[in-house]
A and B are shown apart, each in its own frame.
Chain A
Amino acid sequence: MALQDKYRELLDAASTAGVSNLQVREQDSVLYIDGDAPTGDAKDKLWAIYNKIDPDFRAGDVVMNVNVAAGVAGTKAKVTTDSSNLNIRKGPGTDQPIVGKAAHASEVTLISKANDQWWLVKTEKGEEGYAYAQYLTPQ
């Protein structure tokens, strides 16, 4: 329970922000926080609080798997890379050949989610393939 006290502000924020399917479990001295955030902004705020409680994520006592509940096919997502284009690949993995690029700040259409990391998308130019979900922000 000590970890839940340490990260109380984070857990409270997750409830307040409307994270659904929120699950908080403590196992082998690691706090596992799972759930679906309503928006990318809500997720960013949780990460800011996590970074405040544990500066630079040094403690290694949290695994926070809170993702934006995106999801339905047809949802638009913005390419939120730092500045570069986002690779569109043939399959879900960086070992897969690149079949296209989605420009920084352009919008792609979600077709389906292969997993939490890789989403099958269609670019504005009509290219279809897998993109790394970390760089996509559902609109």
Chain B
Amino acid sequence: MRTSIQRFAFLLSAAAIVVLSSCKGGVKDADLEKTVNDKISAVSADVTNASSTVKDGVVTLNGEFRDESSKSAFETTVKAIPGVKSVVNNTTVVPPPPPAPVVIAADDPLMQGVTDATKDFPGVKADVKDGVITLTGDIKRSSLTTLMKSLNTLKPKKIENKLTIN
């Protein structure tokens, strides 16, 4: 008698598990995929080569987003879809464009600027060639930073400091 009750209880709990798990997996993978693809279409301006696959409620995303924020926002959107268990986000972000090249001042305005900057440092001689400022002569250590600050605003290619520092 006891065994049959136990058996009945076991069957009942087993049935409950089946019912619960079928509720939990109530959304079919195919339906989920369609929903995810609709979401992808909605953000088509932010992403290229996007695709998704769904297996047992786990969504795998592929594609290239234009930036990190649109990528993570989309992951949040997909996670919020009812029936999605988890998201494997294999999408990437477009690398940023290379920075604009550094603009180097032409020698004439550069020389003019160097003349102005070195005026108060009579021991300093400065030459300019192809954007490179070459400093010779001598200067007090306490004045060096002041001079360098001025010269660095002139957009030189580089500054060769050959000064004798006292």
Contacts and interface: CB of A to CB of B under 8 A. Distances in A.
B165 A63 contact: no
Interface in B106-131: 112-113, 115-117, 119
B66 interface: no
Given A94-B116, A117-B113, A132-B116, A56 B161 contact: yes
A19 B161 CA distance: 26
B153 A27 contact: no
A58 B161 CA distance: 5
Given A56-B161, A117-B116, A51 B145 contact: yes
Interface string A114-139: 00111000000000000011100000
B148 interface: yes
Contact of A60 (B141, B145, B159): B159
B126 to A, nearest CB: 13
- Chain A CB count within 10 A is highest, among B102, B141, B150, B154, for B102
B: contact size bracket: 20 to 34
A32 B127 CA distance: 20
A65 B151 CA distance: 9
Given A28-B157, A117-B117, A134 B146 contact: yes
A93 interface: yes
A69 interface: no
Contacts of B96: none
A23 B99 contact: yes
Given A47-B145, A51-B145, A94-B119, A65 B160 contact: no
Contacts of A61: 158
Contacts of B116: 93-94, 117-118, 132
B101 interface: yes
Contacts of B160: 60
Given A51-B145, A65-B155, A27 B161 contact: no
A42 B122 CA distance: 29
A137 B159 CA distance: 24
B14 interface: no
B157 A56 contact: no
A51 B148 CA distance: 10
Contact of B153 (A25, A28, A30, A117): A117
B144 interface: yes
Interface of B: 99, 101-102, 112-113, 115-117, 119, 141, 144-146, 148-150, 152-161, 165
Interface of A: 23, 25, 27-28, 30, 32, 43, 47, 51, 56-58, 60-61, 63-65, 67, 93-95, 116-118, 132-134
Given A56-B161, A63-B157, A118-B116, 5 more contacts: A56-B144, A60-B160, A65-B155, A94-B116, A134-B117
